[in-house]
Structure 1
Amino acid sequence: MSSIAMSVVRAEGFHAPGPQDFNLPPIGPDKTFEFLGQTMYLGVTKPMIQMVLVAGVVFLFFWAASRKRAMVPSKLQYVGEAGYGFVRNSMGRDIIGTKDFLPYVPYLFALFFFILINNMLASVPFFQFPTFSRAGLVYALAAISWFVYLGVGIKKHGFGGFLKLTCVPQGVSKAMWPLLIPLEFMSNILVRPVTLALRLFCNMFAGHMLLILFALGGEYLITEMSAAYAPVGVIAWVLFILVSFLELLIQFLQAYVFVLLNAMYIQGSLADEH
């Protein structure tokens, strides 16, 4: 058999990563069902445990940081205050406005660190899985943001007033309303939570998929293919390391953007006109 044929045979043994690698089996009893051609699992999974664990870690850390407050802060208090000040000022006060921002800071603060730590678990040994690479978890988070957005607007303007401010464009001829009002309703009410969720989900999913591909592909080229492919495998591992550092930045940015958009939606709900 020629070397080319041998390479083809070896290549057939490599199974490229795909969405199935994110469908983790449950921890405990294995109950499955088929949905749209995919095997789905029932039960407690690793992403669920990560969410609960992160919620506990965030609560305990900031509780410990604020438990013994002092004029001269300890290192723990300093870190906690820096994190709180970052969310409070850059995403609360600067976006929502100095008049109305304070009631929403706890929500934005908890949301930011909850998403950030869950994202960073993709780079932590043993975990090595981004919680929000599971679409259902992200849509649940976006649904909470959507209800907050609607609740703030309805509380401030009333149901009819909020719909009018959100869906009726200002300074536009009434002749254009039949065309623009459905578009505004779709954009501001229906599509907004979907795009909010997709942005976070797609970045976490794609980034982790890329890491899996470089890591497993590099290993396969070095250990299973001929020596001529070894340098390519080494390059794949180098790219794996570089992309891992890039992922740390993306993990932070996606948490920041998600919470920033939440603040912008709240500000839009509170505004008297658009």
Structure 2
Amino acid sequence: MNETLLSGVMLASGDVELPGVGDFLLPEIIFPGTPFAMDRIIMVRVIATVIMLVVLGLTAARVKLIPGRWQAAVEWVLEFVREQIVYQVMGEERGKRYVPMITTMFLTIFVFNICGIIPGFNIAATATITMPLVFAGWCFVQYWIAGIREKGLGEFLKEELFPKGVPAPIYILLTPIQLLELLVIRPVSLTIRLFANMLSGHIMVGLCLAATQLFLVESHSLMAVIGVGTFAAGIAMTLFEAFVAALQAFIFAMLTTAYINMSYPEAE
């Protein structure tokens, strides 16, 4: 009780230094203090991107009429995105325009997500808000482009902000909500869904392995039994994180396709 009271007094008097935003940012490890500074998570993004481009480039350069196992696996992924995500939502005629975009988004998000369980990386490249926000921004730029191209800017905004079949007085309440949804709610919901899932998974795996280190390696007592349990939980969480990495890439790609499709007149 006294310690709690003392802490409260120190906090009220300003003697306690509260953490700032900088305390939650990773330290810069390359080119610190310059516009090209990189922290660990940016390095993971760069390395993962280079590896992905090299692997896909080599696969394309060595493509054969009768595919081997690796080529068949890559072609299956590309076909899955094309058929089960893009064409399933948009149809083939309209979807052809967006297959490259959605495929790029799916593969990049999956590779960035899976970095969280790769030794040496040990952190998902989507575990900060920036990368999911970039993908969400890309989605909604395409949403606006498609809507304006198909309907014109005026008609697009009219249909988005003033839905048909609504009594006129209701627009006083509905239109600001529609505008907020169009500009904020949809992109933010996409961003937070990806960011929160990958960050929480990374934290859970980290907690399980940290507990294993404490109980199994350092305790030297009967508490080691708990360490065996936390180690098993860590393995299970790692496997689950691999599943979530693929699932979140699929969900993000599917929602992006659905949102863009909503901007077309037939999707009303």
TM-score by length of 2: 0.84
Structure 1 residue runs of 4 or more that deviate by more than 4 Å after TM superposition:
19-22, 29-32
- AA at the equivalent of 1:245: L
Aligned-partner Cα distance in 1 for 2:27–2:117: 21
Name the residue aligned to 2:162. Answer: 168
Matched, 1:268 2:262: yes
Q: Deviations over 1:123-169 (max 9, x none)?
A: 11111111111112221222222212212211221111111222222
Unaligned runs of 5+ in 1: 1-18, 33-40
- AA at the equivalent of 1:161: E
Distance 1:204 1:20, change over 3 A: farther
CA RMSD of aligned residues (A): 2.4
Matched, 1:256 2:258: no
Equivalent residues, number:
248
Name the residue aligned to 1:232. Answer: 226
Name the residue aligned to 1:10. Answer: none
Deviation at 1:29, TM superposition (A): 4.7
Partner residue of 1:48 out of 30, 42, 45: 42
Name the residue aligned to 2:140. Answer: 146
Matched, 1:65 2:65: no
Preserved contact between residue 22 and residue 133 of structure 1 (Cα < 8 Å):
no
Q: Deviations over 1:183-225 (max 9, x none)?
A: 1221233211111010000011000101111111221123444
Alignment of 1:191-206 (within 5 A): 191-206=185-200
Name the residue aligned to 2:184. Answer: 190
Deviation at 1:24, TM superposition (A): 2.5
SS at 1:27 equivalent? strand
Q: Structure 1 residues 180-189 or 104-113, which shifts more?
A: 180-189
Unaligned runs of 5+ in 2: 1-20
Preserved contact between residue 105 and residue 135 of structure 2 (Cα < 8 Å):
no
- AA at the equivalent of 1:248: A
Q: Deviations over 1:86-129 (max 9, x none)?
A: 11011111112222100110000011001101111111111111
Aligned-partner Cα distance in 2 for 1:131–1:153: 31
Alignment of 1:62-211 (within 5 A): 62-211=56-205
Name the residue aligned to 1:28. Answer: 30
Deviation at 1:226, TM superposition (A): 6.0
Preserved contact between residue 140 and residue 260 of structure 2 (Cα < 8 Å):
no
Preserved contact between residue 22 and residue 134 of structure 1 (Cα < 8 Å):
no
SS at 2:93 equivalent? coil
TM-score by length of 1: 0.82
Q: Structure 1 residues 117-126 or 46-55, which shifts more?
A: 46-55
Distance 1:53 1:97, change over 3 A: same
Aligned-partner Cα distance in 2 for 1:80–1:62: 8
Deviation at 1:71, TM superposition (A): 3.5
